[in-house]
Structure 1
Amino acid sequence: MPRTARPRGRTAPAALCLCLALGCGSGGTPQGDEPSPPAGAPRGTGDDVVTWASSAGRVGAAVDGRGYRLVVHTSVGGTGLRVRLSNAFGNQPVTFGTVHAGLQRHGAALVPGSNRRLTFGGARSVTVPAGGIVYSDPLPVRIPAASDLAVSLYVPRAGGVLTGHWLAMQTSYTTDGDHTAEESGAHWAQRTGSWFYLDAVTVRPRPAAGAVAALGDSITDGWHSTTGLNRRWPDYLARRLRASPASSVEGVANAGIAGNKVLTAGPGQSALNRLSRDVLPLPGLRTVFLFQGVNDIKAEPGATADQLIAGYRRLADRVHAAGKCVVAATIAPYKGWPEWDPAGEAVRRKVNTFLRTSGEFDAVTDFDRVLRSAHDPERILPAFDGGDHLHPNDKGMRAMADAVDLESLDCASR
């Protein structure tokens, strides 16, 4: 039987949410658990719900005098838009001189009249210390669900490590100098496939709405889905939730990092090390959807089934201790990928048996059965194969989202 989640608390309100992220100064400790944030750490108001998020990492060297117009796709709509800017991996302070948010019209151009200045505790600029995050003040406008939001940042002073998300599967824009207030795209000629500094957007939706966060790797990050069309499996899940009048879970946050592992650091900190920074503090979070493990298995040396199972248990215990639900997904087939071997396949099968039968989770979604070929269950179905025998294409991404029981995402309400 599914486990009943513990009662959820409300996050504390704050006008200026400036705080130090935990454990952000290093690449992560193998096999380690990151401590939970201190009680009462500011994360937005109790009415806020995350409508978009990405997981931060190191994406190069920071540059002074740079502008970023970052395009993101909302899930739930609402009023009181706030953005969260992160210097989690920075080793020097970063100053955001001006920040605007508007709706994308086409390319770098914005819908006329939609671009609004954001403030931070009433100020037009803010300096975030190394390892820190900051929330903007809420904007008194309504942001539609499924809208393409453009957040424009000007960074006059930066240095050291640049915090961002490398694999956006979305085109954004950069420039030299401060052009954040401009709705024209004329000065935003340089394109990028990454997001910088911005790692969450929240709104205040209808009462009692909540959110789900997908904690995963490159499949969740959307690799091999179509760039710019929001066809990652969490995007398809967001569409299903919007179309379901019975669901109170409406916000969807994507906490996938390409190459990420449950147990050890690689591209990004391990899931165990980043859960408390990337997922649990998200406003309105109701459920964590855990879909990871293949990178642990195909690593050299690969994790054993017992090691992975112990990691899943620690993640589930920490999510439940935070008063949230946890839904797990089985590991999908990947035969044909260069690092596949029979030993790794045996680990995958043993782990999947644990996920299906252990009762450690509030619910389980069987992505293995959804994606595998009937003729060779160690392989992904050719119609769902993105071409490398590991990552699903758009059809596979949609099939994954269609397999999720929407009621399982709000198990604490039952």
Structure 2
Amino acid sequence: MEFENRGHGPDLDRRGQALRIHLLRGCAALMMLVVLFVVLNSTVSRDVDARSQSERPPGAVPKAFSTYIDRAGISSDGSAAEADLDGAGHSLSGHALADAGWAPGGDVVLLGTPFRLPAYGRDRPDHALADGQPVLLEDTRVRSVGFLVTGSRFGGGGEDVLGTGTVVYADGTEQEYTLSVPHWTEGPAGDAALTLPYANSSRAMDPGPTGPVHLYARSVPVDPVREIDHVVLPEVAERSARMHVFSVGGRSAGQDWTGTWARATSGYMEVGPWEDQTLRLAVRSTTGGHRVRIRLDNTFADRPVRVGAASLALRGEGATTRGSALPLAFGGSDETVIPAGGQVFSDPVELLLPPHTDVLVSLHLPDRVTAAPVHFASVDTNFTSAPGTGDHTRDSGGEPFTGRVDQWPFLAGVEVLDGPGAVVTLGDSITDGTRSTPDAHARWPDVLSTRLAEQPGLPQLGVLNMGVAGNHVVTDGYPGAGVSTYANGVAMTHRAQRDVFTREGVGTLIVFAGINDLRWGTDPRDVIVGLESLAEAAAEHDVRVFVATLGPCGGEARCTAEVDQARQLVNSYLRGQADDPTNAFTGVWDFDAVLRDPQDPARLRPDYDSGDHLHPGDLGLRALAESVDLHQLVGG
């Protein structure tokens, strides 16, 4: 079919020719832009030591974390050239990791979160640099997202590495988070998931870090009710800073566990030695349930420990059980190995456990154990069989348990299913019960738990005592690694993630601490900053936090007039927070007013003084617990 020319031929031809010229010019310009874009993208220099060599395109599809692993930072001893963690030829030792029980492709639980370790080895990448990669989680409903990480800086510097990422929920909403990751050589051991004794170096003239190096676990709280679509790894703004990610995991929200008893690891100390013998550890529940499990920790350790068998029983007299001891399994196995720095949870067993019931946890240690993570000042009596006498975890009688242990080794918690929630008391020796009557459960958290049980209409919350004798808010007593005679714990700001915010069922925190910092010369302003940081962390985890003023200690050797002035400064600040509706604390409790002598406010009341002028005795501890408004505590 032909179109009829209606007399516009020459004009139409001219206009068509002009249009073709414009189109050709437009195409040429577009081609130049494309070429320029390609050239620019191919010539823009990126510091490959500070960023991943493969850029993530916008809108990248989320994938399993393992697919992003493209860098080697773990080497074999003697073959350090196969890896480079810090851009200067230094790397983590695969031999040291294996010695710690962190096997290639193995599993380790940290902060209650299971992590799958990279399958490190010769010519195998083992981590990724965090750079905004979208990651799928195996479990889409979790209480927190965990990261196994460490930091480095190209060209030196030991500051923390900061990065911001995003949690993307299945409903399309997003939650931004920030990770602060310490430097692998300069960061604190007290905050580390694992400390290795040395690093490898590929440079003969530069042996690299001669001291310990660290891996860290970080936990980001998320909404446990909503499903997560994916997690975007942090982006690090500083070009010289690198955040090395070795694994990503989630703390499951599938079941609602609540702590009924717990203690914090205060140090890694020489023990025994224990070999082919059974520990029988006495604990008391604070809330009840019908399904029970235990948590074992190998915190601060440099080697794994094997538990050959374990059991749980209601307690009779001494080391005898009331009824049969229930065997405990770990993933269906009678025995378990806890990697250095790691945790294990037993499989739950059916046991009707009422509140305020004495329980015996028995652990058989088949191998020689010369050092262990312990809660040092137990104030309760624990038991051990003689070396070489074998497994007595199922014994109902107490005859094999001829030895005594004044510590809680390995055992970090007892939990019940579907409990009402828990309160953590974070403090020092006053909370830990130093100078209270042994085996009498006279610590102020014990009395607080009893009061909750006696108050009709209030939930019988678990009360988890995380006091550590000698503990500080902002400075480490125990250095965080190695066998030590000091068992006064790492700083509360370093242990809060492990001892508070990743404990099951915790909804409330009580902080009564700071006097040891002041007694050992810490600036009171630093103590205040430390208390504020604990409150800020509690808010991030949706945990209510109460703080208590510091009691007097006049007459004790280190409680000088200067220390009392510093104490008054901290207390004045805290009391001021009680009147400020915008403050970070849910409430402020005046424990100083409870304990002080009206005639001499710098000293304890004589009837509350245990005799050393620092620690209240049973009567003073009871007074602290009785001063707590229970309705305010439970949120009623």
TM-score after normalising by structure 1: 0.89
Aligned to 1:54: 263
Query: 3-state SS of the aligned residue for 2:622?
Result: helix
- Counterpart check, 1:373 vs 2:613: no
Query: 3-state SS of the aligned residue for 2:347?
Result: coil
Structure with larger RCO (C-alpha < 8 A, sep 6+)? 1
Aligned to 1:106: 317
The amino acid across from 1:289 in the alignment is I
In 2, the alpha carbon distance for the partners of 1:160 and 1:24 equals 21
In 2, the alpha carbon distance for the partners of 1:82 and 1:243 equals 26
Instruction: Please identify, of 349-358 and 128-137, the stretch whose mean Cα deviation from structure 2 is larger.
Output: 349-358
In 2, the alpha carbon distance for the partners of 1:132 and 1:265 equals 20
In 2, the alpha carbon distance for the partners of 1:170 and 1:351 equals 33
The amino acid across from 1:371 in the alignment is L
Runs of 4+ in 1 over 3 A off after TM superposition: 38-46, 61-64, 158-161
The match for 2:628 among 392, 395, 404 is: 404
- TM-superposed CA distance for 1:294, in Å, is 0.5
Could you tell me whether the CA contact under 8 Å between 1:216 and 1:292 is conserved in 2? yes
Instruction: Please identify, of 151-160 and 174-183, the stretch whose mean Cα deviation from structure 2 is larger.
Output: 151-160
Could you tell me whether the CA contact under 8 Å between 1:65 and 1:156 is conserved in 2? yes
- TM-superposed CA distance for 1:166, in Å, is 0.8
Matches within 5 A, 1:275-294: 275-294=496-515
Matches within 5 A, 1:132-151: 132-151=342-361
The match for 2:378 among 133, 152, 168 is: 168
Query: 3-state SS of the aligned residue for 1:105?
Result: coil
Could you tell me whether the CA contact under 8 Å between 2:110 and 2:343 is conserved in 1? yes
- TM-superposed CA distance for 1:356, in Å, is 1.5
Aligned to 2:109: 19
In structure 2, the CA distance between the partners of 1:24 and 1:169, relative to structure 1 (3 Å rule), is farther
Matches within 5 A, 1:131-280: 131-157=341-367, 159=369, 161-175=371-385, 176=387, 177-205=390-418, 209-248=420-459, 250-266=461-477, 267-280=488-501
In structure 2, the CA distance between the partners of 1:288 and 1:35, relative to structure 1 (3 Å rule), is farther
The amino acid across from 1:287 in the alignment is T
Could you tell me whether the CA contact under 8 Å between 1:82 and 1:201 is conserved in 2? yes
Matches within 5 A, 1:70-149: 70-113=281-324, 115-149=325-359
Aligned to 2:277: 66
- TM-superposed CA distance for 1:259, in Å, is 0.3
Query: 3-state SS of the aligned residue for 2:610?
Result: coil
- TM-superposed CA distance for 1:123, in Å, is 1.1
In 2, the alpha carbon distance for the partners of 1:382 and 1:25 equals 45
In structure 2, the CA distance between the partners of 1:353 and 1:400, relative to structure 1 (3 Å rule), is same
In structure 2, the CA distance between the partners of 1:246 and 1:35, relative to structure 1 (3 Å rule), is farther
In 1, the alpha carbon distance for the partners of 2:528 and 2:473 equals 10
Q: CA offsets, 1:254-275, max 9 Å, x none? A: 0011000001011210000000
The amino acid across from 2:585 in the alignment is F
Could you tell me whether the CA contact under 8 Å between 2:524 and 2:567 is conserved in 1? yes
In structure 2, the CA distance between the partners of 1:58 and 1:408, relative to structure 1 (3 Å rule), is farther
In structure 2, the CA distance between the partners of 1:35 and 1:409, relative to structure 1 (3 Å rule), is farther
Could you tell me whether the CA contact under 8 Å between 1:93 and 1:158 is conserved in 2? no
Could you tell me whether the CA contact under 8 Å between 2:548 and 2:588 is conserved in 1? yes
- Counterpart check, 1:327 vs 2:546: yes
Query: 3-state SS of the aligned residue for 2:575?
Result: helix
Instruction: Flag the structure with larger Rg.
Output: 2
The amino acid across from 2:504 in the alignment is P
TM-score after normalising by structure 2: 0.58
Q: CA RMSD in A?
A: 1.9
Query: 3-state SS of the aligned residue for 1:242?
Result: helix
What is the total number of aligned residue pairs between the two structures?
Answer: 384
Q: CA offsets, 1:112-170, max 9 Å, x none? A: 33x10011111111111111001111111211110110000001135463011110000
Which of the two has greater strand per residue?
2
Q: CA offsets, 1:162-201, max 9 Å, x none? A: 0111100000101132111101001001011111100100
Query: 3-state SS of the aligned residue for 1:109?
Result: coil
Aligned to 2:618: 394
In 2, the alpha carbon distance for the partners of 1:269 and 1:157 equals 28
* Gapped regions of structure 1 (runs ≥ 5): 1-16, 27-33
In 2, the alpha carbon distance for the partners of 1:310 and 1:71 equals 37
Could you tell me whether the CA contact under 8 Å between 1:85 and 1:197 is conserved in 2? yes
Query: 3-state SS of the aligned residue for 2:569?
Result: helix
Q: CA offsets, 1:298-356, max 9 Å, x none? A: 00xx1122111111111110111111011101100000100011111111011011112
In 2, the alpha carbon distance for the partners of 1:227 and 1:182 equals 25
Q: CA offsets, 1:373-409, max 9 Å, x none? A: 0100110000000110010111111100001111232
In structure 2, the CA distance between the partners of 1:38 and 1:98, relative to structure 1 (3 Å rule), is farther
In structure 2, the CA distance between the partners of 1:292 and 1:43, relative to structure 1 (3 Å rule), is farther
Could you tell me whether the CA contact under 8 Å between 1:327 and 1:361 is conserved in 2? yes
Could you tell me whether the CA contact under 8 Å between 2:434 and 2:615 is conserved in 1? yes
- TM-superposed CA distance for 1:410, in Å, is 3.0
Q: CA offsets, 1:23-71, max 9 Å, x none? A: 2446xxxxxxx86436664478532110000001223246332311000
Instruction: Please identify, of 197-206 and 362-371, the stretch whose mean Cα deviation from structure 2 is larger.
Output: 197-206
Could you tell me whether the CA contact under 8 Å between 1:50 and 1:284 is conserved in 2? yes
* Gapped regions of structure 2 (runs ≥ 5): 1-106, 112-190, 196-215, 222-248, 478-487, 578-582
Could you tell me whether the CA contact under 8 Å between 1:19 and 1:41 is conserved in 2? no
In 2, the alpha carbon distance for the partners of 1:102 and 1:159 equals 24
